[in-house]
Structure 1
Amino acid sequence: MKLKATILGMSALVALAAPALAEYPERAIELTIPAGAGGGTDTSARKLAILLEEKLGTSIAILNVGGGGGSVGASQFMQAKPDGYSLFATWNSPITTVPQVQNVAYSLDSFTPIASTSETAYTLCVKADFPAATGEEFLAELAANPGKYTYGNDGIGGTMQLAAERIFQAKEIDAIAIPFGGAGETLQNFLGNHVDIYGGSISTVLPYVETGEAKCLLVTSAADVPALPDASGLESLGLGDKETLLWRAILGPKDLDPAIVEKLAAVIDEAVNDPSYVEFLATKGEVPNVVKGDALGDRLQSEYDALAEVSKRLGL
């Protein structure tokens, strides 16, 4: 009799929850972006938000909270209620990289993984007269000249630096990391001959590859990247396990209802694979990549652990 009553009680809860989920969302959703307006994550999230508004039938308000490599926005988002009306559009660095080199108020457990959206490789590029024409020759040149070459990156302990050092450590390469405020600043210093190597996102340097001012010889993905036909993917160099990608995701606050997570993940999947969004991503050198729920959580943890090991070796 007691078991029967328990089952009836659970059924009643399910019956109550179902209509509530069917009605979600009933009001506007706030989407926090831990970066200023106009950057890669911001433009990607805003484009995606337009599609999500159509599919969810509600408006989405954008809140930009930059600073601290994304940590300021992430810390602020921790205070959000887990009701499905506060979402977080981020790239991986604030979650898996920044905590390696900064004291932050959050951890992986501070968020509920919903779905990743897109990904791209970082790239390492040199000037046209650099004495290498392939990824293999590039690494050989660096290995033969320890301490000679400098490479610009996205800041001390940034994802680009850790991505490069995963490769360099495997090949016993000693190159000098020069930190800048982002890919744009890195590019300007590379073009101005203040660093020998550009390290950053593909979309930023691509116009200069097309004009011949830069040649990209290596990407940090296991596979080759069609946008950079002269760049070697890590798999071809026997370094496929050293892959590090720049990727974006939508997260929720801790303890977000699994039913809401499932619904949002399904809608995000639809939006990301909408032809207009796929075309938009292609102009940025990115591709759709949707990993949902627990699988996304596993990806975050795996990357966090790998970058923690590199960071420790670097003494960061």
Structure 2
Amino acid sequence: MSLKDMKLGRRLALSLMGVGIANPRGFAQTATYPSRALKLLVGYPPGGGADILARIFANKLSPLLGQPVVVENRPGAGSTIAAAALASAPADGYTLFFAESGILVGPTIYDKVGYDPLTLTPIGALGNLPYSLVVNPSFPARNVREFIDVLKASPGKYSYASPGVGNIAHLSAEMFQKAAGVQIVHVPYKGGTPALADLVSGQVPICFVSLPPALALARSGKLRLLALTSAKRSPVAPDVPTISETLPGFNSVASIFLLAPPETPATIVYRLNAAMRSIMSMPDVLSDFIAQGAIVETSSPKELATLFRQELASWGSIVKSAGVRME
């Protein structure tokens, strides 16, 4: 290891102590870590966007660590089931979680989730996922300004579909209503696929949903893609405007990140963060993530811990103002 790497490792270890994840056992464990297969939890069913990205990541992580990395799907309750499983797993670096912002929302909308987001060990951010605002082709608006005008003319007349209560797509719609000063009735679905199916059939006129499936349907003329919820346009759809181009400052995305159980040793975290950064710089991984609508932006564990606190506050405020709650 070079002097530069030694200094970087020392700084990282000190920063991890600052967010409560350093563990002296880690220095002994690192010499043999990893010596067996790792498990990568995903909070959504197989075949979805999060699952696809997790499997791309796992396929690259395995050769870097010299051990198999097995993806394990634990869907349900906005990925809080997977987060609870991570929270109770041993702090040895063999159980990881390919997570997104939904786990930060969970404790604010469910009575019991089985974990505290701030006790989970941050390894690093991978990027974020914007959502799309789409309408049925018969809807009388072709852009965000016209969309707002239609909604203001008929408060509460129109309904919108989302992949579920508390999903970041749902909260993006709540953010939009507040920013635009409009009223739309929420119709939650069990996933983006059934929501889009009813949008295309005309059962619901508006939908907030992830970008890739919406983009495919828009290109075939089955729906109209009005805008993205991110601050910047997506590389996969550069011709699609953002809501922020009409409502300056609007930005609602789901951050995606890698987590480990509470009290995972700092040295293991350092190795996993280095592997994560290496993977996310690979051209084929960048291309695959962009194809799924993701915007790649990596971070250190300390930076992710800061992001957690910021998102907990911002999403908590949105949930409170919208009155979102689940039993």
Normalised TM-score (structure 1): 0.89
Q: Give the one of 106, 112, 115 matched to 2:121.
A: 112
Aligned to 1:97: 105
In structure 2, C-alpha distance between the alignment counterparts of 1:131 and 1:250, rounded to whole Å: 42
Letter in 1 for 2:147: F
Letter in 2 for 1:37: P
Aligned to 2:199: 190
Shift of the alpha carbon at 1:61? 2.1
1:205 pairs with 2:244: no
In structure 1, C-alpha distance between the alignment counterparts of 2:202 and 2:107, rounded to whole Å: 31
Shift of the alpha carbon at 1:128? 2.7
Given that 1:217 and 1:230 are in contact with CA atoms closer than 8 Å, whether structure 2 keeps it comes out as no
1:43 pairs with 2:52: yes
1:132 pairs with 2:109: no
Range 167-176 or range 134-143, more displaced: 134-143
* CA shift in 2, pair 1:19/1:79, >3 Å: closer
Shift of the alpha carbon at 1:227? 3.5
- Unaligned runs of at least 5 residues, structure 1: 1-14
* RMSD (CA atoms): 2.1
1:75 pairs with 2:77: no
Could you report, residue by residue, the CA deviation over 1:6-54 in whole angstroms, capped at 9, with x for unpaired residues? xxxxxxxxx9966752442122212122222222111211111110111
Q: Give the one of 236, 253, 257 matched to 1:249.
A: 257
In structure 2, C-alpha distance between the alignment counterparts of 1:229 and 1:62, rounded to whole Å: 32
Shift of the alpha carbon at 1:298? 1.5
Letter in 2 for 1:54: P
Given that 1:108 and 1:301 are in contact with CA atoms closer than 8 Å, whether structure 2 keeps it comes out as no
Aligned to 1:179: 188
Aligned to 1:266: 274
In structure 1, C-alpha distance between the alignment counterparts of 2:214 and 2:247, rounded to whole Å: 25
Letter in 1 for 2:257: A
Given that 2:179 and 2:247 are in contact with CA atoms closer than 8 Å, whether structure 1 keeps it comes out as no
Could you report, residue by residue, the CA deviation over 1:211-236 in whole angstroms, capped at 9, with x for unpaired residues? 12212112111112244455432432
Q: How many aligned positions are there? A: 301
- Unaligned runs of at least 5 residues, structure 2: 1-23
* CA shift in 2, pair 1:140/1:227, >3 Å: farther
Aligned to 2:248: 239
Aligned to 1:10: none
Q: For residues 277-292 of structure 1, what are the structure 2 equivalents within 5 Å?
A: 277-292=285-300
Q: Give the one of 307, 311, 320 matched to 1:299.
A: 307
Q: Give the one of 299, 308, 312 matched to 2:316.
A: 308
Shift of the alpha carbon at 1:114? 0.6
Shift of the alpha carbon at 1:313? 1.3
Letter in 2 for 1:288: V
1:148 pairs with 2:157: yes
Bigger CA radius of gyration? 1
Could you report, residue by residue, the CA deviation over 1:76-124 in whole angstroms, capped at 9, with x for unpaired residues? 221111111111112221x122222112121212311111223221011
Aligned to 1:12: none
Aligned to 1:6: none
Shift of the alpha carbon at 1:247? 2.9
In structure 1, C-alpha distance between the alignment counterparts of 2:105 and 2:35, rounded to whole Å: 35
Range 170-179 or range 284-293, more displaced: 284-293
Aligned to 2:6: none
Given that 1:150 and 1:197 are in contact with CA atoms closer than 8 Å, whether structure 2 keeps it comes out as yes
Letter in 1 for 2:311: E
In structure 1, C-alpha distance between the alignment counterparts of 2:25 and 2:230, rounded to whole Å: 46
Normalised TM-score (structure 2): 0.86
Given that 2:162 and 2:186 are in contact with CA atoms closer than 8 Å, whether structure 1 keeps it comes out as yes
Q: Give the one of 47, 70, 74 matched to 1:65.
A: 74
Q: Secondary structure at the match of 2:299?
A: coil
* CA shift in 2, pair 1:157/1:30, >3 Å: closer
Q: Give the one of 31, 40, 44 matched to 1:31.
A: 40
Could you report, residue by residue, the CA deviation over 1:257-308 in whole angstroms, capped at 9, with x for unpaired residues? 1221121111101112211111211221223221220211211221121111
Given that 1:134 and 1:231 are in contact with CA atoms closer than 8 Å, whether structure 2 keeps it comes out as no
